[in-house]
Protein backbone atom coordinates (compact mmCIF):
# COMPACT_ATOMS: atom_id res chain seq x y z
CA UNK A 1 0.00 0.00 0.00
CA UNK A 2 1.70 3.20 -1.08
CA UNK A 3 -0.86 5.61 0.35
CA UNK A 4 0.54 7.42 3.35
CA UNK A 5 -0.82 10.21 5.44
CA UNK A 6 -0.04 12.26 8.51
CA UNK A 7 -2.57 13.14 11.20
CA UNK A 8 -4.72 16.22 10.60
CA UNK A 9 -3.87 17.79 13.95
CA UNK A 10 -0.17 17.61 13.17
CA UNK A 11 -0.57 19.19 9.76
CA UNK A 12 -2.20 22.53 10.43
CA UNK A 13 -1.88 22.96 14.17
CA UNK A 14 -4.66 24.86 15.83
CA UNK A 15 -6.34 25.80 12.57
CA UNK A 16 -7.57 22.25 11.99
CA UNK A 17 -10.79 21.19 13.68
CA UNK A 18 -12.55 17.84 13.82
CA UNK A 19 -15.12 17.88 11.00
CA UNK A 20 -13.66 18.46 7.53
CA UNK A 21 -15.03 21.38 5.54
CA UNK A 22 -14.86 19.30 2.37
CA UNK A 23 -14.66 15.51 2.02
CA UNK A 24 -13.97 13.35 -1.01
CA UNK A 25 -14.79 9.68 -0.54
CA UNK A 26 -13.87 7.05 -3.15
CA UNK A 27 -14.49 9.56 -5.91
CA UNK A 28 -14.38 8.49 -9.55
CA UNK A 29 -14.81 11.04 -12.31
CA UNK A 30 -15.26 9.98 -15.90
CA UNK A 31 -15.84 12.80 -18.36
CA UNK A 32 -18.78 12.20 -20.71
CA UNK A 33 -19.75 9.11 -18.71
CA UNK A 34 -19.04 6.48 -21.42
CA UNK A 35 -16.44 3.76 -20.95
CA UNK A 36 -14.27 5.14 -23.79
CA UNK A 37 -14.14 8.60 -22.30
CA UNK A 38 -11.49 9.95 -19.96
CA UNK A 39 -11.22 8.55 -16.47
CA UNK A 40 -9.86 11.64 -14.75
CA UNK A 41 -10.05 10.60 -11.08
CA UNK A 42 -10.20 7.16 -9.50
CA UNK A 43 -10.71 6.15 -5.85
CA UNK A 44 -9.85 9.63 -4.67
CA UNK A 45 -10.07 10.26 -0.92
CA UNK A 46 -9.27 13.64 0.58
CA UNK A 47 -10.31 15.88 3.47
CA UNK A 48 -10.02 19.66 3.48
CA UNK A 49 -9.95 20.97 7.05
CA UNK A 50 -11.45 24.25 8.17
CA UNK A 51 -8.97 27.09 8.19
CA UNK A 52 -6.11 25.24 6.56
CA UNK A 53 -4.24 26.00 3.38
CA UNK A 54 -4.03 22.73 1.46
CA UNK A 55 -1.84 22.54 -1.63
CA UNK A 56 -2.45 19.84 -4.25
CA UNK A 57 0.42 18.96 -6.56
CA UNK A 58 0.78 16.48 -9.39
CA UNK A 59 1.79 16.10 -12.99
CA UNK A 60 -0.01 17.86 -15.81
CA UNK A 61 -3.29 16.15 -16.68
CA UNK A 62 -3.52 14.18 -13.42
CA UNK A 63 -6.88 15.71 -12.50
CA UNK A 64 -6.05 18.68 -10.24
CA UNK A 65 -8.44 21.11 -11.91
CA UNK A 66 -11.07 18.37 -11.99
CA UNK A 67 -10.77 18.11 -8.21
CA UNK A 68 -11.53 21.84 -7.88
CA UNK A 69 -14.48 21.56 -10.27
CA UNK A 70 -15.90 18.85 -8.01
CA UNK A 71 -15.57 20.91 -4.80
CA UNK A 72 -17.12 23.93 -6.45
CA UNK A 73 -20.04 21.90 -7.81
CA UNK A 74 -19.22 22.61 -11.46
CA UNK A 75 -19.06 18.87 -12.20
CA UNK A 76 -20.53 15.90 -10.30
CA UNK A 77 -18.62 12.69 -9.50
CA UNK A 78 -19.40 9.61 -11.60
CA UNK A 79 -19.37 7.65 -8.33
CA UNK A 80 -18.35 8.27 -4.74
CA UNK A 81 -19.20 11.40 -2.79
CA UNK A 82 -18.07 15.00 -2.50
CA UNK A 83 -19.43 16.72 0.61
CA UNK A 84 -19.18 20.20 2.04
CA UNK A 85 -20.24 20.61 5.66
CA UNK A 86 -21.32 16.96 5.52
CA UNK A 87 -23.79 17.54 2.66
CA UNK A 88 -23.36 16.26 -0.89
CA UNK A 89 -22.46 18.95 -3.38
CA UNK A 90 -25.22 19.05 -6.00
CA UNK A 91 -24.77 22.52 -7.51
CA UNK A 92 -22.31 25.43 -7.58
CA UNK A 93 -21.99 26.88 -4.08
CA UNK A 94 -21.86 30.49 -2.94
CA UNK A 95 -19.40 29.67 -0.13
CA UNK A 96 -16.69 29.18 -2.75
CA UNK A 97 -14.42 31.80 -4.34
CA UNK A 98 -12.15 30.92 -7.26
CA UNK A 99 -9.11 32.32 -9.04
CA UNK A 100 -7.23 30.87 -11.98
CA UNK A 101 -3.93 31.17 -13.84
CA UNK A 102 -5.48 33.83 -16.10
CA UNK A 103 -6.83 36.84 -14.22
CA UNK A 104 -9.76 37.19 -16.70
CA UNK A 105 -10.72 40.73 -15.74
CA UNK A 106 -13.40 42.48 -17.79
CA UNK A 107 -11.39 44.92 -19.95
CA UNK A 108 -13.99 47.72 -19.87
CA UNK A 109 -14.28 47.73 -16.07
CA UNK A 110 -11.94 49.50 -13.67
CA UNK A 111 -10.13 47.62 -10.91
CA UNK A 112 -12.83 48.54 -8.39
CA UNK A 113 -15.65 47.63 -10.79
CA UNK A 114 -14.03 44.27 -11.58
CA UNK A 115 -13.66 43.59 -7.89
CA UNK A 116 -17.31 44.33 -7.21
CA UNK A 117 -18.59 42.00 -9.94
CA UNK A 118 -19.27 38.97 -7.69
CA UNK A 119 -21.33 41.16 -5.34
CA UNK A 120 -23.61 42.10 -8.24
CA UNK A 121 -24.48 38.61 -9.50
CA UNK A 122 -25.83 35.26 -8.34
CA UNK A 123 -25.73 33.66 -4.95
CA UNK A 124 -22.83 35.81 -3.74
CA UNK A 125 -25.14 38.83 -3.53
CA UNK A 126 -26.38 38.01 -0.06
CA UNK A 127 -22.90 38.59 1.34
CA UNK A 128 -22.44 41.89 -0.53
CA UNK A 129 -24.77 43.61 1.98
CA UNK A 130 -25.40 46.61 -0.19
CA UNK A 131 -23.14 48.54 -2.44
CA UNK A 132 -21.63 50.83 0.20
CA UNK A 133 -20.41 47.96 2.32
CA UNK A 134 -19.11 46.07 -0.72
CA UNK A 135 -17.18 49.13 -1.91
CA UNK A 136 -15.64 49.63 1.54
CA UNK A 137 -14.63 45.99 1.62
CA UNK A 138 -13.21 46.19 -1.91
CA UNK A 139 -11.08 49.18 -0.89
CA UNK A 140 -9.83 47.35 2.21
CA UNK A 141 -8.84 44.40 0.04
CA UNK A 142 -7.07 46.65 -2.46
CA UNK A 143 -5.12 48.17 0.45
CA UNK A 144 -4.20 44.68 1.69
CA UNK A 145 -2.72 43.76 -1.69
CA UNK A 146 -1.08 47.16 -2.25
CA UNK A 147 -3.34 48.37 -5.05
CA UNK A 148 -5.06 51.39 -3.54
CA UNK A 149 -3.73 53.64 -6.32
CA UNK A 150 -5.04 51.32 -9.04
CA UNK A 151 -8.71 51.56 -8.05
CA UNK A 152 -9.75 53.52 -11.15
CA UNK A 153 -7.40 51.91 -13.66
CA UNK A 154 -8.45 49.58 -16.46
CA UNK A 155 -6.90 46.08 -16.72
CA UNK A 156 -4.77 47.11 -19.70
CA UNK A 157 -3.06 49.68 -17.44
CA UNK A 158 -2.07 46.99 -14.91
CA UNK A 159 0.88 44.56 -15.01
CA UNK A 160 0.22 40.80 -14.99
CA UNK A 161 1.03 40.65 -11.27
CA UNK A 162 -1.32 43.55 -10.51
CA UNK A 163 -4.11 41.89 -12.51
CA UNK A 164 -3.61 38.70 -10.53
CA UNK A 165 -3.84 40.67 -7.26
CA UNK A 166 -7.20 42.00 -8.44
CA UNK A 167 -8.27 38.48 -9.38
CA UNK A 168 -7.40 37.22 -5.87
CA UNK A 169 -9.33 40.09 -4.26
CA UNK A 170 -12.31 39.40 -6.54
CA UNK A 171 -12.27 35.76 -5.43
CA UNK A 172 -12.70 36.77 -1.76
CA UNK A 173 -14.90 39.88 -2.07
CA UNK A 174 -18.05 37.94 -1.17
CA UNK A 175 -16.32 36.50 1.91
CA UNK A 176 -16.25 32.86 0.78
CA UNK A 177 -15.51 30.21 3.36
CA UNK A 178 -13.48 28.29 0.82
CA UNK A 179 -11.03 29.80 -1.65
CA UNK A 180 -10.08 27.60 -4.61
CA UNK A 181 -6.94 28.62 -6.49
CA UNK A 182 -5.97 26.87 -9.72
CA UNK A 183 -2.32 27.72 -10.43
CA UNK A 184 -2.95 31.40 -9.73
CA UNK A 185 0.72 32.33 -10.08
CA UNK A 186 1.60 29.96 -12.93
CA UNK A 187 1.78 32.67 -15.61
CA UNK A 188 3.93 35.10 -13.59
CA UNK A 189 7.69 35.55 -13.56
CA UNK A 190 9.59 34.18 -10.54
CA UNK A 191 9.96 37.52 -8.72
CA UNK A 192 6.34 38.53 -9.16
CA UNK A 193 5.28 35.09 -8.04
CA UNK A 194 7.26 35.47 -4.79
CA UNK A 195 5.60 38.84 -4.17
CA UNK A 196 2.20 37.30 -4.71
CA UNK A 197 2.94 34.56 -2.17
CA UNK A 198 3.17 37.35 0.39
CA UNK A 199 -0.06 38.87 -0.92
CA UNK A 200 -1.87 35.54 -0.60
CA UNK A 201 -0.55 35.08 2.96
CA UNK A 202 -1.89 38.53 3.90
CA UNK A 203 -5.26 37.97 2.22
CA UNK A 204 -5.67 34.70 4.00
CA UNK A 205 -4.77 36.25 7.36
CA UNK A 206 -7.32 38.98 6.67
CA UNK A 207 -10.17 36.73 5.51
CA UNK A 208 -9.53 33.58 7.58
CA UNK A 209 -10.82 31.45 4.70
CA UNK A 210 -9.87 27.85 3.99
CA UNK A 211 -7.72 27.57 0.87
CA UNK A 212 -7.14 24.80 -1.66
CA UNK A 213 -4.21 25.75 -3.87
CA UNK A 214 -3.37 23.83 -7.04
CA UNK A 215 0.20 24.31 -8.14
CA UNK A 216 2.99 22.75 -10.21
CA UNK A 217 5.58 24.47 -8.07
CA UNK A 218 6.73 22.39 -5.10
CA UNK A 219 8.57 25.31 -3.49
CA UNK A 220 5.37 27.34 -3.69
CA UNK A 221 3.38 24.49 -2.15
CA UNK A 222 5.76 24.11 0.81
CA UNK A 223 6.10 27.86 1.32
CA UNK A 224 2.35 28.51 1.40
CA UNK A 225 0.58 25.38 2.62
CA UNK A 226 -0.09 23.73 5.97
CA UNK A 227 -0.36 20.41 4.18
CA UNK A 228 0.55 19.23 0.68
CA UNK A 229 -1.34 16.40 -1.06
CA UNK A 230 0.27 14.61 -4.00
CA UNK A 231 -1.84 13.20 -6.83
CA UNK A 232 -0.85 10.22 -8.95
CA UNK A 233 -0.72 10.52 -12.75
CA UNK A 234 -4.17 10.13 -14.36
CA UNK A 235 -6.48 8.66 -13.23
CA UNK A 236 -5.68 10.88 -10.28
CA UNK A 237 -5.91 9.97 -6.64
CA UNK A 238 -4.14 11.17 -3.54
CA UNK A 239 -1.05 9.04 -3.03
CA UNK A 240 0.82 11.01 -0.36
CA UNK A 241 0.39 13.84 2.09
CA UNK A 242 3.06 15.89 3.82
CA UNK A 243 2.68 18.23 6.78
CA UNK A 244 4.41 21.62 6.61
CA UNK A 245 5.00 22.58 10.25
CA UNK A 246 6.61 26.03 9.80
CA UNK A 247 5.18 28.94 11.80
CA UNK A 248 3.63 31.96 10.06
CA UNK A 249 4.35 34.39 8.67
CA UNK A 250 6.93 32.58 6.59
CA UNK A 251 9.88 34.29 4.99
CA UNK A 252 11.38 33.71 1.56
CA UNK A 253 14.82 32.82 2.96
CA UNK A 254 13.28 29.74 4.61
CA UNK A 255 13.18 28.14 1.15
CA UNK A 256 16.89 27.42 1.37
CA UNK A 257 16.83 25.83 4.83
CA UNK A 258 17.28 22.09 5.12
CA UNK A 259 13.88 21.41 6.76
CA UNK A 260 12.22 23.12 3.82
CA UNK A 261 14.22 21.49 1.04
CA UNK A 262 13.76 18.09 2.67
CA UNK A 263 9.97 18.38 2.43
CA UNK A 264 10.14 19.59 -1.19
CA UNK A 265 12.48 16.72 -2.14
CA UNK A 266 10.20 14.22 -0.40
CA UNK A 267 7.22 15.52 -2.39
CA UNK A 268 9.17 15.39 -5.64
CA UNK A 269 10.00 11.78 -4.94
CA UNK A 270 6.32 10.91 -4.52
CA UNK A 271 5.08 12.74 -7.62
CA UNK A 272 7.06 10.49 -9.93
CA UNK A 273 10.52 9.14 -10.19
CA UNK A 274 12.80 12.09 -11.06
CA UNK A 275 14.48 11.75 -14.49
CA UNK A 276 17.90 10.17 -14.33
CA UNK A 277 20.67 12.59 -15.16
CA UNK A 278 22.58 11.40 -18.21
CA UNK A 279 26.39 11.51 -18.05
Ligand X SMILES: Nc1ncnc2c1ncn2[C@@H]1O[C@H](COP(=O)(O)OP(=O)(O)OP(=O)(O)O)[C@@H](O)[C@H]1O
Alpha helices in the chain (DSSP H): 8-12, 64-72, 111-120, 125-128, 130-144, 160-172, 190-207, 218-224, 258-271
Smallest gap from residue 279 Cβ to Mg ion (A): 35
Nearer to ligand X, 61 or 160 (CB): 61
According to DSSP, the residues that pair with 47 across neighbouring strands are 23
Which residues contribute to the site for ligand X (CB under 6 A)?
31, 38, 40, 58, 60-66, 234
Nearer to ligand X, 118 or 236 (CB): 236
Nearer to ligand X, 155 or 235 (CB): 235
Q: Nearest Cα to 215, choosing from 64, 72, 74, 71?
A: 64
Smallest gap from residue 211 Cβ to ligand X (A): 17
Which partner, Mg ion, ligand X, none, binds residue 155 by CB below 5 to 8 Å per kind? none
Smallest gap from residue 261 Cβ to Mg ion (A): 26
Sheet of strand 227-231: strand arrangement: 96-100, 178-182, 210-214, 53-57, 227-231, 238-243
Count other Cβ atoms within 10 Å, centred on residue 135: 16
Q: What is the DSSP secondary-structure string of 57-88?
A: E--TTSSHHHHHHHHHTSS--SEEEEEETTEE
According to DSSP, the residues that pair with 230 across neighbouring strands are 57, 240
Smallest gap from residue 74 Cβ to ligand X (A): 10
Residues 35-74 that bind Mg ion (CB under 5 A): 65
Which partner, Mg ion, ligand X, none, binds residue 63 by CB below 5 to 8 Å per kind? ligand X
Residue 215 within binding range of Mg ion, rule CB under 5 A: no
Which partner, ligand X, Mg ion, none, binds residue 130 by CB below 5 to 8 Å per kind? none
Nearer to ligand X, 147 or 271 (CB): 271
Q: Do 100 and 182 meet the contact criterion of CB atoms below 8 Å apart? A: yes
Which partner, Mg ion, ligand X, none, binds residue 60 by CB below 5 to 8 Å per kind? ligand X
Q: Do 190 and 217 meet the contact criterion of CB atoms below 8 Å apart? A: no
Nearer to ligand X, 174 or 234 (CB): 234
Amino acid sequence: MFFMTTSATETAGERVQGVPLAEFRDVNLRYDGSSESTLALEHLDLDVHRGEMLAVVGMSGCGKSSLLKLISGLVMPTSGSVKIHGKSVTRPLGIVGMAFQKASLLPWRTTLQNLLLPTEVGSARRNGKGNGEAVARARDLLATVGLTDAENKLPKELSGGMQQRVSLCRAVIHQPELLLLDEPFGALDAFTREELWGVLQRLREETGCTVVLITHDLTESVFLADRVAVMSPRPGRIVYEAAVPFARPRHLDQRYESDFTRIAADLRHHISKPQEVLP
